[in-house]
């Protein structure tokens, strides 16, 4: 078993999942503004450190995706953030793309940038303690999108990124996110997501990426947020599983879903239903940002010094998702 495969399995094994705490300073500022907390480096660190030092981390979180600012910060106990995360039995990771920009040739679509100078940045992050990385490609759905150009360009970028990451002895998270913005049906989402994922794996194989040493971070199959044809959670689980079974090579050790606009409970319930019917060999877990942090952030904003209370809220959410990653969650346990 390769070392990369080992790391991937440790991140997602025993029902553990990933805490996506890689919001850029801009995004984190929006989150803090929404709960009336000034966005200073100190406050951003205080909130994240509160989560990173919780029992929920020790019991439920196998990996934390960090942002460039955070991986270089030092905790209030004077240890480096990657050291704090590692001391909780979790792996530090880092977001390495530089964001989605307008795709030349298709101005309504995006291409993720950040390949220039990536090899050097990866070496630095590895020295700082990162064990895995993340890169997100985004795709819109409509009658004409995602275009072949967008599907091809983003798959190519994800593959080049993954090859460089593995060369530097880290596990790449491959995140092709088909957005839920729009009035498309779940069937449209199924079709486009299948196309996007298949093209990603074609490129990954072409770039000689070891599939046993990656984690796939896809969207679930959902109807668009403006769609009139909503489907049941059971249907979401069934379509999501079917899509992945037909698109993902069996070498991939694990799949960690993004929550992509779902509420905390929805993201947990859908993950639970997927695991209840999962007959594949893939570990199916979570890599949630807002769906793990939102309640904790709201609680924390009322009194940023109430570390214990905030951790209690976070621990509950982390525990619910870890149960869902094993198909053991229920509404009764939730409440």
- Virtual CA dihedral for 123, 156, 20, 106, nearest 10 degrees? 130
pLDDT at 222: 96
Q: Which of 18, 257, 284, 240 is nearest to 132 (CA)?
A: 18
Dig out the tokens for 302 from the structure. 């009322």
CA pair distance 267, 33, nearest whole angstrom: 24
pLDDT digits (tens, 9 = 90+) for 35-50: 999 999 999 999 999 9
Q: Which of 253, 51, 98, 248 is nearest to 171 (CA)?
A: 253
Cis peptide before 68 (omega within 30 of 0): no
CA pair distance 10, 8, nearest whole angstrom: 5
**H, E, C per residue of 44-64:** HHHHHHHHHCCHHHHHHEEEE
pLDDT at 1: 65
Q: How far, in Å, are 8, 159, 254, 274 from residue 213 at the CA level?
A: 6, 13, 9, 23
CA pair distance 293, 38, nearest whole angstrom: 17
Q: What is the mean pLDDT of each run of 10 residues along the chain (335 residues)?
A: 93 97 94 94 95 97 97 94 97 97 97 98 98 98 96 98 98 97 95 98 98 98 93 97 98 96 96 97 97 96 96 98 98 95
Residue recorded with tokens 């525990």: 319
Is residue 127 part of the annotated active site? The answer reads no
CA pair distance 228, 8, nearest whole angstrom: 38
CA pair distance 240, 238, nearest whole angstrom: 6
pLDDT at 261: 87
Count CB neighbours of 251 within 10 A. 14
Domains of the chain, earliest start first: 3-334 (3.20.20.70)
pLDDT at 137: 98
Contact present, 176 and 218 (Cβ < 8 Å): yes
pLDDT at 284: 98
pLDDT digits (tens, 9 = 90+) for 229-252: 889 999 999 999 999 999 999 999
Which among 134, 217, 238, 312 is annotated as catalytic? 217
């Amino acid at each position: 078993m390769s070392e990369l495969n080992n790391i991937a399995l440790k991140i997602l094994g025993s029902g553990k999942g990933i805490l996506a705490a890689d919001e850029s300073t801009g995004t984190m500022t929006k989150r803090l503004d929404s709960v009336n907390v000034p966005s200073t480096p100190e406050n951003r660190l205080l909130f994240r450190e509160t989560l990173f030092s919780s029992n929920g981390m020790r019991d439920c979180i196998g990996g934390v995706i960090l942002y460039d600012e955070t991986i270089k910060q030092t905790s209030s106990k004077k240890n480096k953030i990657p050291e704090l995360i590692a001391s909780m039995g979790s792996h530090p990771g880092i977001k390495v793309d530089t964001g989605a920009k307008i795709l030349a040739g298709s101005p309504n679509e995006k291409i993720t940038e950040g390949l220039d100078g990536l090899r050097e940045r990866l070496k630095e992050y590895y020295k700082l303690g990162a064990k895995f990385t993340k890169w997100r490609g985004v795709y819109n759905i409509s009658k004409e999108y995602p275009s072949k150009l967008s599907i091809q360009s983003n798959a190519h970028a994800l593959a080049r990124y993954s090859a460089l990451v593995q060369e530097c002895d880290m596990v790449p998270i491959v995140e092709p996110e088909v957005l839920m913005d729009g009035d498309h049906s779940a069937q449209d989402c199924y079709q486009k997501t299948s196309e996007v994922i298949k093209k990603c794996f074609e490129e990954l194989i072409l770039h000689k990426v070891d599939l046993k040493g990656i984690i796939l971070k896809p969207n679930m199959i959902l109807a668009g947020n403006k769609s009139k044809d909503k489907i049941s959670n059971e249907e979401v689980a069934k379509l999501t599983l079917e899509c992945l079974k037909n698109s993902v090579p069996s070498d991939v050790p694990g799949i960690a879903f993004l929550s992509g606009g779902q509420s905390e409970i929805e993201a947990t319930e859908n993950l639970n239903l997927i695991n209840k019917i999962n007959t594949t060999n893939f570990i199916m877990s979570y890599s949630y940002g807002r769906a793990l942090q939102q309640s904790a952030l709201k609680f924390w904003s009322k009194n940023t010094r109430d570390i214990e209370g905030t951790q209690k809220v976070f621990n509950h959410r982390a525990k619910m998702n870890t149960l869902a990653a094993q198909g053991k969650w229920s509404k009764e346990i939730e409440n």
